[in-house]
Amino acid sequence: MMMTPMTDFFLKLSPKTCTSCNHEIEEMADCYVTICNECSGTVYYPLSPIEKVAQE
């Protein structure tokens, strides 16, 4: 009996989706959220100031 390589198994998994709105959730290491940031009201702020790009 042949076993499926682990990489093939993970590539065939369907994308993770929000249980509230069914939009795709970005996968992160050790992250077990089931609700997207928009539905949960989570806001992420940058750790460093955003530099303004000079417009020509």
Cβ pair 36, 18 in contact under 8 A: yes
If you search the block for the tokens 């959730």, which residue do you land on? 25
If you search the block for the tokens 């249980």, which residue do you land on? 19
| Token pair in block for residue 53 | 């790009």
Q: Rounded to an integer, what is the distance from CA 23 to the centroid of its chain?
A: 10
Q: How much is the average pLDDT of 27-32?
A: 78
Reply yes or no on whether the pLDDT at 54 is more than 70: no
- In angstroms, rounded to a whole number, what is the distance separating the alpha carbons of residues 54 and 9? 46
Which has the minimum average pLDDT: 4-13, 32-41, 43-52?
43-52
